[in-house]
Structure 1
Amino acid sequence: MAQPFRQGSRYVSKLFNGVDIRLFEDRMEISSSVSWHALSSAILPGGFSFANRIINWKVPLDYNGVDPVLDMMNQFALWGSEPASTVGLITAAKLTHASITESEGDRFNLLCCTTVGTRNAARAGIRRDTFSAYSPGTINTVLLIDGQMTESAMVNAIITATEAKAAAMQHLGIIEHASGQIATGTTTDAVVIGVSQRVDWNAVHAYAGAATTIGCNIGESVYRTVVEATRTQHEE
């Protein structure tokens, strides 16, 4: 686990061949020489897609978000990114403090990259004024799996990642200011999972809950990166 962009602008995956992460002034780009089978809650495109690039766009604290899809499309054009093969995320968090971890698992390799801003920390499950719930701060998590997974397992992985994020918030004691209760995340969190689906692993992961090796790895990776990025978000 590390925060490579506090001192540099590039991270090359040690386990996922062809994955390159670069930090620019206004964004972080995760690119690959091959296409991933992706599932995300991203602004664009969201849902299932195929992508070889994931962009985490850093917006100013006063970003109004009236039409984020159009804004993202305009940014894709500016950056020369192909919308059909790019997943776009938005954040106001410090990209320089992204936390990255990699690990080898049971017939899979994993890379997890998380950026954190908790200014709008919130607790799911309680009533709130949703109109005033949007303010700068987001937890964006990208999971890259070099392996094979069913689509249902990919959905399961999103659940596991979300549970791990909430557990990290509990461990850190991050509070939703409106209620004074422990937050489970923020009001604008997003997650992306990209799977290589390489058949030479000769094993298809059908589940990704806490009872599986891949689920445990996902949970631990998300937990650790959320903790590191959150603890250091106010540091230089």
Structure 2
Amino acid sequence: MTRPSQDTGPDLWQCYGARRTRADRVAGVDGTFHWDWYQRNEPGAEILGSLDGMAVIEVGAGTGRQAAHLAGTSAASEVTALDSSASIHERCRRSYGNVPRLRVVLAEATSYLVERPSAFDVVYSVFGALDFTDPRRLLPAVVASLRPGGTLVFSTLGHYRNGEAAESWVRSAQLPTALADGTPATMERWVLELPLWERLLAQAGLDVVGVETVHDAGRGGGPPTATRIIRATRPAVRQL
């Protein structure tokens, strides 16, 4: 078990982790890989490309289901499930700690990635750290951790769940949540329009190579959503 490289503050995810584990089991998606909000559409893990012999990390891995799926079904050399929540990390460790080639890590994403230059071939996030960390901080760290030619793939909301448009400038929404003892708290989430994501990725040194939008009509009375799946690469070093 790896400890955080810096103080991650109050754990805002303990209640979420319990709900997420129950919801995955009820929905029958445990042991599968989905990018979209309601976890029922294509594409799946194949969008990551061939992982043969590659070092892969999920930033904001949550309960670890997606990372465990990759570790168990791909030929990646190692899959790291990284999360900053101690409670969710413990859930992931209990559920998937014995999966071969899966490494479960407790750390803040930005500092962890910066401390491991050119360590990974693939970085991905499924409504994870890319949604809940200022992209102006996280994206440069992702680039630092990627090997030349490496890939970043992440899914994020195309608009707010109430139907409001995504932000056209880098501004976070304040989401209500609660600590484990019930104390009210808030967390930040970045819901950004596609041209802004493309600009931020380019500024960080990444080339956008693919964007897919998955539309969900809703489930169980939930609102319609649009999931953006964005794929970008760190340019390979050019030979002079």
Q: TM-score range by the shorter chain?
A: under 0.3
Taking structure 1 as the reference length, the TM-score comes to: 0.27
Give the number of the structure with larger relative contact order, counting CA–CA contacts within 8 Å between residues 6 or more apart.
Answer: 1
Taking structure 2 as the reference length, the TM-score comes to: 0.27
From the two aligned structures, give the one with the greater strand fraction.
1
